[in-house]
Structures are given as C-alpha cells and as structure tokens.
C-alpha cells in the first residue's frame, strides 16, 4: 500500500494513502476535537470543530474530511484554529441550555469537555433559543432536542449501524431538528429502541430514561460482561453504583456487537434487583406453602431425598435439567453432578425449545 508523509504540528507522520488528516493526527497522538465525527460512521464534516490550518490552503479545512497528502504541513492548534473552534463552541452554546448542574450527561459530554478545554465560559452570542418539549413518549429514551447540537450522529447510527432510518433532519435553518417521520414522538414511530443513538450522542440530547437520577457518570463503575439474552453474545457494560446495577452501556470494543445492542440488552436489566428475587432457600410445607430455610437445612434435605431415591430406585430415577442461562462452569458442574454423583446420564436443557 502506498503511503504519504505529512507534517502535523512539526511532527512527521507517515500514513496510508487515503487517510484523513484527522486520523493521521490521532495516529501521531495529536488530539483534535470532534463532535460529528465517529470512526464507525460516515463523515459529513458538519460541526467544523476539527478545523486545522494547512499551508497553501484557503480557509480552515475540516480535518475529518480532508485527505492527507504528500508534503502537507498542518497546524492543529494555531491561534487562528483555536479562535475558530472557540467561536464554534460559543455559537453552539448560544442555543444550548446551561444546565450542566443537573444534566445526566455531565462528566462525559463532549460539548462540556471542549468548552472547558477552550475556556468558553459563556455563549458569546445572544439570540433566539429553542424551547422544545421533552420527548418522554417511551420508557427507554428521553429526547431533549434543546440540547441537540445537530451533529447528526444519531441519524447516521440509525441508518448505518441499525439500517432503520427512523430519524433524520427535518425543517430548515434555525428550525432544523432531528425528527421521526411526521415529527411524531419516538414512542409512536417505528423505533425499536436499540439505543444506538444514545451510544453515539455527544451531548445530553439522548439519554437512557431508566438511568435518569441514578447517579453521576463519574460515580459509575463499569463492569464488562456478556448480555444475558439471545445467543449473539454482545458485550455490555454494567453500570454499578452503590452495589446496584443502575444501567447498561455499550462500548466500541464490543467484540461481536461494537456499540450496537438491542432493546433487551440495553434496557432489560431491572430484573436484577427486582423485589421478586429469591433470597433464601424455600421448603414446601404439608399445606403447600413455602417456608424459608437456611442453606444447611435445604442442602441436607435435597441430599437426603435424592440419595434415598437413588438407593431405592436406582440412579436413573433421577434427572437434571441444566440451564442455557447459566455459565459454562455452572453447566459443567451440573453435568458432573448428574453423571458422577447421581450416577445417571439423565441430563438435558432447553436447547430444543
């Protein structure tokens, strides 16, 4: 593969032909801010935050859609570039609620981070502000279009990751917004609530409803594990606070799924701490009701009864139904229990159902 060599902030960088200036800079460890860019999605070059200065080029090109060329000399942090970025951020903040104190996204909001980084304290422009009602029409996703910066990542994720195009840009100019067909609430659209849009939203415009008020992002411990539903084996991150799973997020590092999840995988976790969970062994009483027992009593009873059946009727009078929901290690021991302890090959599970 042919390569090109360019200079970025005085560093010589060699990259494969076709690489964008943004990618080349990142390869060299130089950070360029982006809002609309995503390595897994197409690049519209919309937000202009990634502008850089390139010798012999007019204006400031967006690095995410500018292809690196041989001999290019790029400056990613010249005064002009920084001033341009600051202006873009001021323009965005001019129509953005200043409610970071209560915003669920605070702490992992790209707009907040860049405003901090570029020292943009207040919007430099006064003008009209959006006042859209919240879309809380469904139990999964809250849409606050007042916080939307129109980066279009959700539109592209819905189209390019999910192949659904439930949302797109509607209206024009200042009235432009991301909308469903006929501008219906999400709950009345064809949305299947996979939440891919949430996973790419850089600001607080799209948030998981069930996680609202459960804690700040920096309080969450993320534990990487595998989804408990179908056999695809998607990687999920359990968001844990104070010993409770309060949400599920996806990660670009998901082996099978990347950031994609389905509605069950992303939002179907409340059963974990449900009050119906069994918390003690139960022993049935003669009247048919259950009473709670401790482990010693329950295990002794199980061992005694199974042992008695084995003695009286032989091993094949016992059977184990193992579980497709349990781990390999659980199932291996269930298999060993049936064959080596009960002495029977009567073990099966719901693979046929």
Backbone phi, then psi, for 345, in 5-degree steps? -95, 10
Q: Measured from the CB atom, is 117 or 270 closer to another protein?
A: 270
Cβ-contact 88, 47 below 8 angstroms: yes
Q: Does position 264 bind another protein by CB under 8 A?
A: yes
Q: Measured from the CB atom, is 13 or 320 closer to another protein?
A: 320
Distance of CA 275 to the CA centre of its chain: 27
Of the residues 284, 286, 287, 311, which one makes contact with another protein according to CB under 8 A: 284
Q: Measured from the CB atom, is 34 or 239 closer to another protein?
A: 239
Q: Does position 225 bind another protein by CB under 8 A?
A: yes
Of the residues 33, 112, 227, 249, which one makes contact with another protein according to CB under 8 A: 227
Q: Does position 277 bind another protein by CB under 8 A?
A: yes
Dihedral over Cα of 28, 29, 30, 33: its sign: positive
156 Cβ neighbours under 8 A, 6+ residues apart:
38, 41, 42, 44, 200
Q: C-alpha angle 43/47/49, rounded to 5°?
A: 105
Q: Does position 73 bind another protein by CB under 8 A?
A: no
315 Cβ neighbours under 8 A, 6+ residues apart:
342, 343, 344
In angstroms, the CA 200 to CA 92 distance is 18
Least separation in angstroms between CB 311 and another protein: 11
Least separation in angstroms between CB 76 and another protein: 31
Q: Does position 289 bind another protein by CB under 8 A?
A: no
Q: Measured from the CB atom, is 90 or 159 closer to another protein?
A: 159
Interface residues for another protein in 129-168 (CB under 8 A)? 138-140, 161-163
Of the residues 234, 251, 287, 311, which one makes contact with another protein according to CB under 8 A: 234
């Amino acid at each position: 593969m042919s390569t090109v060599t360019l200079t970025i902030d005085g560093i010589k960088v060699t990259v494969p032909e076709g690489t964008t200036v943004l990618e080349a800079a990142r390869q060299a460890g130089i950070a360029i801010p982006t809002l609309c860019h995503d390595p897994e999605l197409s690049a519209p070059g919309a937000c202009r935050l990634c502008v850089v200065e390139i010798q012999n080029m007019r204006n400031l090109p967006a690095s995410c859609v500018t292809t690196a060329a041989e001999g290019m000399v790029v400056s990613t942090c010249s005064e002009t570039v920084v001033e341009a970025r600051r202006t873009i951020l001021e323009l965005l903040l001019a129509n953005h609620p200043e409610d970071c104190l209560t915003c669920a996204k605070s702490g992992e909001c790209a707009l907040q981070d860049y405003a901090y980084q570029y020292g943009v304290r207040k919007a430099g422009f006064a003008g009209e502000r959006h006042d859209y009602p919240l879309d809380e029409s469904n139990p999964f996703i809250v849409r606050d279009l007042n916080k939307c910066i129109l980066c279009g990542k959700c539109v592209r994720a819905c189209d390019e990751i999910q192949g659904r195009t439930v949302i797109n840009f509607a209206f024009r100019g200042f009235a432009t917004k991301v909308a469903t067909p006929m501008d219906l609430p999400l709950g009345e659209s064809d949305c299947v609530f996979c939440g891919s849009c949430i996973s790419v939203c850089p600001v607080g415009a799209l948030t998981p409803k069930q996680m609202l008020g459960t804690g700040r992002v920096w309080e969450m411990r993320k534990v990487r594990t595998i989804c408990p539903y179908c056999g695809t084996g998607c990687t999920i991150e359990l968001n844990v606070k104070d010993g409770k799973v309060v949400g599920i997020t996806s990660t670009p590092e998901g082996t099978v799924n990347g950031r994609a999840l389905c509605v069950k995988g992303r939002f179907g976790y409340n059963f974990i701490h449900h009050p119906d969970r069994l918390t003690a062994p139960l022993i049935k009483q003669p009247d048919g009701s259950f009473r709670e027992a401790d482990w010693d009593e329950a295990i002794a009873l199980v061992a005694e009864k199974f042992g008695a059946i084995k003695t009286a009727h032989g091993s094949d009078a016992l059977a184990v139904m193992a579980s497709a929901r349990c781990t390999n290690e659980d199932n291996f021991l269930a298999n060993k229990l049936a064959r080596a302890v009960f002495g029977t090959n009567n073990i099966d599970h719901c693979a046929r159902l």
